[in-house]
Amino acid sequence: MKKPLSLVIVLIALATFLSVAWRESDASVQTGKSKGGGVVASYKQHCAKCHADDGKGIESLQPPDFTDGKWQADNTDKMIADGIRNGKGVMPGFKETMSPAQVNSMVKFVRAFGPKAAKSEKK
Ligand code: HEC
């Protein structure tokens, strides 16, 4: 009779572990969303098709290279925010789809592609 009981205990322990793990991953998805309005997912959805996941951009469209220290240094946060809000050339504006807070976190996200030196220079 000992074996079935220990099996039940193992199963209960496993079920408890799984439900905690599931709840934790669920919670982290939610906190990820509240931080900066899901900026990573938003970039992937709205920007990566032209600016690419690495921020260098799709060459044929000739977007700015966000990893370029000179570009980062030449552009103020306001210029980047205005670019995102109003669009430029083939780039659509996002003021209809993004809240000011989302635009701000997108500016930080664009900054994060730059080399460290350019980032600290700005602040
Ligand atoms: C349809 C392709 C496309 C999409 C989508 C797109 N961009 Fe662009 N983006 C461009 C191109 C091309 C330029 C260069 C425009 C120019 O200088 O004429 C540009 C320029 C920019 C600039 C510089 C603006 C300036 O004033 O020089 C920023 C910042 C930028 N994009 C960020 C983003 C962000 C953030 C997103 C997503 C929310 C995004 N872009 C979506 C193609 C795109």
Cβ of 83 less than 6 Å from ligand 1? yes
Cα–ligand 1 centroid distance for 47 (angstroms): 7
Instruction: Give the CA distances from residue 118 to residues 18, 59, 85, 108, 114, in Å, rounded to whole numbers and listed in that order.
Output: 44, 23, 23, 13, 7
Cβ of 94 less than 6 Å from ligand 1? yes
Residue 119 CB contacts under 8 Å (≥ 6 apart), including other chains = 72, 111, 112
Q: Which atom of ligand 1 is nearest to the CA of 94?
A: 38
What tens digit of pLDDT does each residue of 97-110 get? 999 999 999 999 99
Q: Which atom of ligand 1 is nearest to the CA of 88?
A: 15
Cβ of 51 less than 6 Å from ligand 1? yes
What tens digit of pLDDT does each residue of 38-95 get? 899 999 999 999 999 999 999 999 999 999 999 999 999 999 999 999 999 999 999 9
Q: State the Cα angle at 79 between 66 and 43, rounded to 5°.
A: 45
